[in-house]
Structure 1
């Protein structure tokens, strides 16, 4: 074991772990950095199955036995360990270029989804990132194809800086949700349902009511003209 005069401090490991948790470093990037600090004591093939934070704690403890508690204390009091938009973009880019697997993307995005915890409300600064990590991937990862992940990346890269619209677009990734969108909004613009009845759908699918849904003005502009609804769907889904 190295002594306490090691040039690598516990702060280094805290920073590295935060970068992974926020998404700005992938699992493989963290492992590469750990290898540069100290050889990972893993059996052949074992490293790929070990949770990245465990590898980090193992390496830190080999350098200094006190680092483990230092890291735990720092992370438990930190407010900047939440997945970020920058992190989602970085992880999606890495997955789509083959640098990490889809399973590793999902493992990163859902690390905080422990049983008996809340759904992340108030935990994320960005509701689109919140939805992607706490709802979309846990519920629908098995249904998402490469095209869906590419579209998700396009949504997160959008320059409109409107997380409400980004969340709507993420919900509309699947064809099933697009058909529901057309069905419920068509009923509304044809006068078959009231705003309060529309809220049942909006709240269930988007977590918004007709006051906060970002396309209500567009919807009002096409009242009694359902033929224009597909164009609104393409706008809301951020199709190319």
Structure 2
């Protein structure tokens, strides 16, 4: 018989699932909450179960009606997108050893699964979008602790400019820094036009020279390529 007297409702599970999807709770924090409020005994293998499935399983064991209630609430929700606050929380948890890099990856890329909804227009923050849908999926094996620390610094930036944050995330890679110097160097020396520069900017940053946030700074050092490394330093948000 289901535990109909439990004070826990489907809303609790919806809130917990949203917190995980947005990133403000890690999977381990979700597991700890479940152990604290439900009488269901969690097995060792649950640690390796995808967290939304575990939430649905636990909710259904408490009340068979919860499953449909949670599905209905989540399917209509608009606040299940990975958030900047969530990225910061997950990165901090990984850097302190509370979660592993793989668990960070699993959280950040859940929406990239083939059967997930199309992510177009899904993110309100283009820096979070880039981190989750491009940086981690394509560069996960190359990222070091130093890269993750720099990414956290970027997301914590007081300016909170998503365009600049995305540029800095792209420039985590030494290879991308060299490309930055090469293509922007060609431009400021007059070898390429703004339209030709757009080919690089659109491919690497998803921006043209009208939206690239450092265009004014670039124009200010035209024909003075010796100042380009300082611009790279600023765009990458390197420490002084």
* TM-score over 0.5 (shorter chain): yes
Find the aligned partners of 1:140 and 1:197 in 2 and give their Cα distance: 27
Partner of 2:189: 190
Partner of 1:56: 55
Find the aligned partners of 2:144 and 2:118 in 1 and give their Cα distance: 25
TM-score by length of 1: 0.96
TM-score by length of 2: 0.96
Which deviates more, 204-213 or 111-120?
A: 111-120
2:107 is aligned with 1:108? yes
Partner of 1:143: 142
- Contact preservation (8 Å) 2:35, 2:42: no
- Report how far residue 53 of structure 1 moved: 0.9
* Alignment gaps of 5+ in structure 1: none
Change in 2 beyond 3 A, CA 1:97/1:174? same
CA RMSD of aligned residues (A): 1.3
2:128 is aligned with 1:124? no
Partner of 2:229: 230
- Report how far residue 39 of structure 1 moved: 4.8
- Contact preservation (8 Å) 2:164, 2:235: yes
Partner of 2:31: 31
What is the SS of the residue equivalent to 1:12?
helix
- Report how far residue 55 of structure 1 moved: 1.2
- Contact preservation (8 Å) 1:119, 1:134: no
1:151-170 equivalent positions in 2, closer than 5 A:
151-170=150-169
Find the aligned partners of 2:180 and 2:139 in 1 and give their Cα distance: 18
Partner of 2:3: 3
Change in 2 beyond 3 A, CA 1:20/1:64? same
- Report how far residue 58 of structure 1 moved: 1.2
1:77-116 equivalent positions in 2, closer than 5 A:
77-115=76-114
- Report how far residue 116 of structure 1 moved: 6.8
What is the SS of the residue equivalent to 1:112?
helix
Find the aligned partners of 1:170 and 1:119 in 2 and give their Cα distance: 23
- Contact preservation (8 Å) 2:2, 2:63: yes
Find the aligned partners of 1:89 and 1:43 in 2 and give their Cα distance: 30
Partner of 1:70: 69
Find the aligned partners of 1:40 and 1:103 in 2 and give their Cα distance: 27
2:225 is aligned with 1:218? no
Find the aligned partners of 1:185 and 1:137 in 2 and give their Cα distance: 25
Partner of 2:17: 17
- Report how far residue 3 of structure 1 moved: 3.4
* Alignment gaps of 5+ in structure 2: none
